Structure 1
Amino acid sequence: MVSNQVDHILAATMRLCLDQGLGAVTMRSVAAAAGVTSSAIVYHFKTRERLLVALLDHIENAVAASRSRLIDAFDEEQLAFAGPAACIMAILHRLLDEQGLAIIALSEIDRFLRDTEAEQAARTIMCRAWDRADRFWQNLPVIADEDREGKAIWAAAAQGMIPLVMLDRTPVLRDARIARIIARLADRLARREVQLQPPWSPPEPLARAVRPTGKQQIVDATIRLSGKGGIEALTHRKIAAEAGLSVASTTYFYPTKDDIVADAAYDVQARAMNAVVDGSVPPPMFMSRIMLDERQEERPEMATLTAFMTAAIRSPERGQFATAVRRVRGLDGIRWLAARGYRQTDRLDGILWAATSVFLVQKALLQPAAERAAILDDVSDVWLTRLFG
């Protein structure tokens, strides 16, 4: 009976999280969604952090179950007829339809639980999640003929493109984008000549806005809070407390929360895009300098860009925001390639590399801090050479 109630509560919590975002998940809201008393939630989970750990585990198992149903979807005749690219496209389409938002929520919950008493428990679940995802893609019969490195790149690109393609509001456009990325990946791995999109020049670095001290404090506070817990739970009061200012100061500069988020989003775009063309970054340290701060933790602006992407995916009314975020991630990718000397590339390659690096970064962040830079730099260097060298 107790187990049944726990399962019922977690199912209701998952629906609440996927529909309204992590900020909507509180002990009280979960009790209301599950139709139980608040004391029942406290009895089973004690704290919100422990509830979120249980939710993380519940969602991860649901995603793994969906993948397991897909692994044997193709028989030998179908595999021979369709080929690797078509099969992986089909699997991605189904996985996105069934568990797209759930996959996004995994990283969102994990990021929120960092620096809490539940951090280690969350990390254990996320290590399992990424290992399962990696094994799923690498063990697909459709890429059995690939070498070890090729399989790893297929896995990283397929898993990493999920949040990027979910920014497309229309399923038809989303599926078309998947097809283009997968086809380009197949060509790059096979060393086939690709037809590049028309030549273009990377945009100039975005000018950082000059703001009064208090206004910049608010933007910086918003970036820190968004990177940790997303934007749904942001309030003027929380931002003011993080910035060390009064609520009156935040409302003076920014009448609404959306005003703050829009300004913070521009700042994040400038930091994220400009970081990849800093000529002082030596190639052996390229990826780690972009992604990690001096403590070898994820740079706040990178975490915030992910949080903004999650918010854009979940909220249809943020369509223009979704377009802007997708553009930034694609431009980041092509800037990274150009800065490393890979000039015979285009925007599609930029999106491909952005997707591939998403997976690599998430796996690196689950390792001890002292090992992250080496993982990011060594693996990315090998993968870049394999794809574009």
Structure 2
Amino acid sequence: MSQSSKPESKNNSISPGCLIYGFGGLFILGGLVFLVGTSWFALRLEASRTWPQVPAQVVSSELGFRVDSDNDRFVDPVVTYRYIIDGETYTGDRVSFGSGDASWSQSRVNAYPVDRSINVRVNPNDPTDAVIEPGGRGWERFLPLGGLVPLGVGVSIILTGRRRLRNPELMRGPSGPTQVGPKGHWIPATLGIIFTTVGVFIVRDGLTAIQIARASSTWPTTEGTVVLSEAHREWDREEKRHTYFPVVVYTYEVEGVTYAADRIRPGSIRGSSRTSASALRLTKKYPEGSLTPVSYNPDQPSQATLVVGESVRSWRTMVFGGIFTVIGLVIALVFFPRPWAHQASNQGTGSPRS
């Protein structure tokens, strides 16, 4: 009985090749789905640039509030316009396919005041589908590139797995090889390169945030009005809990032009907490409808903050990006293939010619 059960257990076991190809295939499938979906979205945005232009007139223009699933409010430009096609009047309210922060929203409201005559792009297949600024904000074109990351990881898993299956020496032991050979390992090497690239961009943003924080101490001030003050709640999937962060949107005028901003302190990373008490404490300091001093950049009035000066918070992005960069560099250097070492080992072990 025991001898007959052994072949049956072997037949029911999953081979390492199936696991490798299956795991790598999941990454490739996910990357392809993301690539196709975002490419379709990007192509639609580009197609809107070719839609026929129709004259329209703005009938209302103001900052509006969008409510998400957590009943949190966000500021958006609400610009309503009318246009006529084949004698029939239509009403649209789409400014752009993309979205932005409070500063961008107010700039769109300023750009399209009431009674202004504008041109809108109308979908020839659906006259109710119109937009003022076709093509999005530009960054949407690069969305499909995000699908290349899981694609690369999936291909790396399959290639590395094939090499391990073909070389029995690499399959010894439950944890694989005891040391990294000259051929390296593409999976961690690829992840290291990704970590390093992301870290460099974060460090760059951190340096910019520190410079802005230092310069904000000398910015002029003006009186602003708080139009939104809430403690927003977000669900953290990794830690499976809610985090809270304050959202304060305010408007102000500089040389007769109205601006809006949502920056409380200079910096790139917004502060969050596990409880709503900390976020509510800050929002109570800036209640809706209250007047508050606003410091703005004289060279770029749309850039403003309520709290000026450099602080420990200003260095968060810099430190976070530095950690990302160091981790990525270490992983990439340890696991990246080293062909020169492979050639040296072949020359050292090769038999001399007679």
Q: What is the TM-score when the length of structure 1 is the normalising length?
A: 0.25
Structure number with the higher strand fraction is 2
**Normalised by the size of structure 2, how large is the TM-score?**
0.27
More helix by share: 1
